[in-house]
Amino acid sequence: MGILEGKKILVTGVLTEASIAYATARIAQEEGATVVLSNFGRAMSLCQRIAKRLPREAPVVELDVTDAEHLATLADRLREHLGGEGATLDGVVHSIGFAPQEAMGEGFTEVAWEHAATAFQVSTWSLASLTHACRPLFGERASVVGLTFDASVAWPVYGWMGAAKAALESTSRYLARELGPEGVRVNLVAAGPLRSMAMKSIPGSEQFEDAWEKRAPLGWSVTDTEPSGRAVCALLSDWFPATTGEIVHVDGGFHAVGV
């Protein structure tokens, strides 16, 4: 029996097989979970195609976290795929992040608020809004897991996306504090650089790959999403019943060493 046997999980942001979200969905199914995916807009058709490559084709719901109507109706739309009235949701994977090109790179102080605001709304605030939207479906216990890129330091080229990730990490702690009494755990996985669509969109991201290759004690593969997906699934499971507000690093140990 798998560690997620019988659990029902929403995995957001699945776009390609190179993503942590896809690895999470695949491993979750292999561990016994029922999985629902989400995406929106032009990415919706890509997500639906990718859903067919999972061990069992997963349903896809439309979710744009900047659309109030999508958030307000999410619980009802998820129920259709989870067993109808009375259905519960055991886990949510927040794999959502976006910053306009204008918000990244150099010139941190020159970035217009509209670009920084987009990064914060999509990458940070959405963790709270997504959790709130799913809250009516949570039973006695639930687990919310988000993805971050270690925001304890400033990185080259990451710009306001780095600031948004720092706010995401703080948001996860506030959610953990508020929702803990309801049996909801909220944690993050801080993965090393991976050649996902998100990383490819960052100008100069090859600098991260070079740094990890030299410093990660365990080594690091920029194409292997399996370790990160396993960490997310472990946090979704009942194996961490007293862990919340935590950031689990899956980066080959890079975060623990100096130059």
Q: Which residues are catalytic?
A: 158, 165
3-class DSSP assignment, residue 98: coil
Contacts (Cβ under 8 Å, ≥6 apart) of 69: none
Query: What is the side-by-side strand order in the sheet with 138-148?
Result: 60-62, 34-39, 8-12, 89-94, 138-148, 184-191, 247-250
What CA–CA distance (Å, rounded) separates 62 from 38?
6
Distance of CA 81 to the CA centre of its chain: 21
What CA–CA distance (Å, rounded) separates 104 from 115?
9
Measured at the CA of 82, the angle between CA 78 and CA 84, to 5 degrees, comes to: 85
Give the pair of three-digit tokens for residue 233.
């699934």
Give the residue among 120, 94, 99, 87 at the shortest CA–CA distance from 38: 94
Give the pair of three-digit tokens for residue 98.
């976006």
Task: For tokens 């897991």, name the residue.
Answer: 145
